[in-house]
Amino acid sequence: MTKTIHEICNVHGIADVGVCGFDACGPLLGVRAKARLPRHPASVIVCALPYYSGGYPERNVARYAVCDDYHVAAGSLLGEISDQLGRRFPGRDFVPFIDVSPIREVKAARLAGLGVVGLHGQLIAPRWGPWVFIGCIVTDLHAWADSISAPTCRECEACLTTCPTGALSREGLCRELCRSAITQKRGVLSPWEEEQVRAGGMAWGCDICLEACPMGKSPALTPLDCLKRNPLPILTRGNLGWALERKAYGYRDRGVLERNLTLIDG
C-alpha cells in the first residue's frame, strides 16, 4: 500500500513522502476547506515539496514567492497524484490540500517522518532544510506511518536571535511583531511597522529566521519544475501587474504591494 503511494509520488518527482493517521493531526483548523474532507478520513499522505530555486541574494520577496504561485503549481501536482491514487485504489477518496488546509501541515509532516520542527515553527527537511512547502492528501484508505530518519533541530536559537523584532521566542511567533506578517497587512501601517518594512527592504515576506537556520544553509535545488517557473526575485512597479497574476502574493490587494514598494524605495 505505502509502496504504491511512494511509487506514484516518485514518478511525479516527489521523493519525500510519508503517511500518518488522520486523527493524530488534530485539532483541525476551522477553514472552509474543511468541507472538502472525505466522509471518513483515515490517513494523511504528506509530501515535502522543496522550493529553493537559487540564491537570489538581491531579492525583495520571500523565497517561496520568487517563482510562480505554489498554490496553483503544487495544487495541480497534488491533484494529479490524487487522481492516479484514485484509479489505483477504486472506491477510495483522495483529497489534496496545499496551504489553505484544515490539516495542521507542519504537525502532519513531523508525524509522517519528513523532518523536524525548528524553533521558528517551520518544518526542516533533511535534504531541503526549511525551504519546503507541505502538501497533504487526505484519504479514507487505511495506511500506516512510514519510518523515515530525520535530523534533530539543534536548538541553536539562531532563528530566535537573528529575528530583528523579537517576534520569535520559545513560546512561539508573535505575528504583530513579524516583518513578514507586516508586509502582508492591509490598510495603514503604524510608524513602527512602516520602519520595519523599510529596514527589511522586502516588498513581501522576510526569510531572516530561515536564512539563519544552519540546517538550511546549503539546500539542494528543487527538482520540481513547476516550482522553478518564471522566477521574479525583484518586484517593481513596472512588473507588479504581471506578478500579481502569477505569484503567491497575487491574492493580496495591489495597494499593499504598492505601499511596501513605496516604503522600501524611500
Kindly state the greatest CA–CA separation across the chain: 59
Dist CA 146 CA 166 (whole Å): 37
pLDDT (tens digit, 9 = 90+) per residue, 18-77? 999 999 998 999 999 999 999 999 999 999 999 999 999 999 999 999 999 999 999 999
- Residue extents of the structural domains in the chain: 2-139, 158-217+237-258
Cβ-contact 223, 50 below 8 angstroms: yes
Q: What would the grid cell of residue 216 be?
A: 538550511
Out of 99, 207, 225, 265, which one is annotated catalytic?
A: 99
Q: What would the grid cell of residue 41 be?
A: 478520513
99 given a catalytic annotation: yes
Low-confidence spans in the chain with pLDDT less than 50 = none
- Give the other-Cβ count within 10 Å of 258's Cβ: 13
Which has the closest alpha carbon to 74: 53, 52, 97, 56? Answer: 97
Residue entry with cell 484514485: 86
Which has the closest alpha carbon to 118: 149, 165, 152? Answer: 152
Q: What would the grid cell of residue 112 be?
A: 509522517
Dist CA 188 CA 212 (whole Å): 30
| pLDDT recorded at residue 73 | 95
